[in-house]
Amino acid sequence: METELSKRLGIEHAIFGFTPFPAVAAAISRAGGMGVLGAVRYSDADELARSLDWMEENTGGRPYGLDVVMPAKKVEGVSEADIEAMIPEGHREYVRQVLAKHGVPELGPDDVSGWRITGWMEQVARNQLDVAFDYPIKLLANALGSPPADVIARAHEHDVLVAAPAGSARHAGHHKDAGIDIVVAQGYEAGGHTGEIASMVLVPEVVSAVEGIPVLAAGGIGTGEQVAAGLALGAQGVWLGSVWLTTTEAELPSQVLIDKLLAAGSGDTVRSRALTGKPARQLRTEWTDAWEDPAGPGTLPMPLQGLLVADAVSRIQKYETEPLLGTPVGQIVGQMNSERSVQAVFDDLTRGFERAVDRINRIAGRA
């Protein structure tokens, strides 16, 4: 599964794996792909440095990357406390009511909320980059699109390629104008923040819109046959995220959540603003349903919603409140029905890719 882009980056397979877990990212790189570590949970730059130290020791010298969450436009003089003050009391009361309905206990006096959307703050992301550029990362991805121009320039000074997701050809064109090196065409099926155009339509539109720039296909991809389809549509690789959640190296907070993922079908996800304020595909739960209830106050815009629900999500996870417990995940969850190692996932991907190529060769009369 080599392409011009994979050869340029020195990876065996044109598979880019996003994950919040260092052990998964390192295993992806060792398996011949590009492990991309999500940085949004690292509000402490020293903690990120420790994870990157670990990556250095466990990737076997293979390339890896980092994914940050940085807005393209800078907002001056606004602190997290300022943002918190904008959250209406009615929304806070609604969160308390939903948690009380399901009997979710409070966090203990020594518990620290482990789920906090702070990485969206530009200064947090810049602190992360101050750390990251001291390491030999090969790829910098920004989950919110094109990062500020000075960040792109700084990455290029360190010989780091910059990637950004696009949910439409128009977005992809903006990335090209901004000097992005790789565009991730992320379809409707994807987990997390995603748009409204399905991958089969989106990928060739983006390839055409950014001619000359490598494109990665993303959204609903988790088999080798789907990898082959993405390359057939003009992509130079694929970006996979959800499929790693049920790998044995992943560090999901509970077996209850893992079991929910393994049991879920492709129709058991929903694009909801409940987690961050932007449409993000995740498991449908009574938590996401509560935020769609017309009797409720509705979600707040990003980043207010993320700050509003941060402690609630931590409580739901800590006490494994099954009806409310969920996670961002794509429609590929319907095929994630067993726990496998990252290497086993790669083995299945390569076998499926070979099957797809052989099938097309037979159809074309080449075999």
45-58 vs 22-30: helix axis angle to the nearest 10?
30
Q: d(Cα 242, Cα 192) in Å, to the nearest integer?
A: 9
| Contact call for residues 170 and 94 (beta carbons, < 8 A) | no
| Contact call for residues 182 and 235 (beta carbons, < 8 A) | no
Q: Write out pLDDT tens, residues 31-67.
A: 999 999 999 888 888 999 999 999 999 999 999 999 9
Helix (H) or strand (E) holding 127: helix 122-132
Q: d(Cα 221, Cα 114) in Å, to the nearest integer?
A: 29
Cα dist from 73 to 27, 70, 143, 147, 248, whole Å: 34, 9, 14, 8, 38
Q: d(Cα 260, Cα 283) in Å, to the nearest integer?
A: 9
Q: d(Cα 154, Cα 193) in Å, to the nearest integer?
A: 26
Residue 320's pLDDT is 95
Q: d(Cα 310, Cα 117) in Å, to the nearest integer?
A: 7
Residue 306's pLDDT is 87
Beta strands per DSSP E along the chain:
15-19, 34-38, 64-68, 139-142, 161-166, 182-186, 192-193, 215-218, 237-240, 269-272, 280-283
What's the chain's Rg over C-alpha atoms?
Answer: 20
Residues in the chain: 367
Residue 285's pLDDT is 98
Angle at alpha carbon of residue 43, lines to 254 and 18, rounded to 5°: 60
Residue type, 2: E
Residue 119's pLDDT is 47
What spatial distance separates the first Cα and last Cα of the chain, rounded to whole Å? 19
Cα dist from 212 to 173, 183, 235, whole Å: 12, 11, 11
Q: Which stretches of the chain drop beneath a pLDDT of 50?
A: 119
Q: In what order do the strands lie in the sheet with 192-193?
A: 192-193, 280-283, 269-272
Residue 90's pLDDT is 97
Q: d(Cα 192, Cα 249) in Å, to the nearest integer?
A: 20
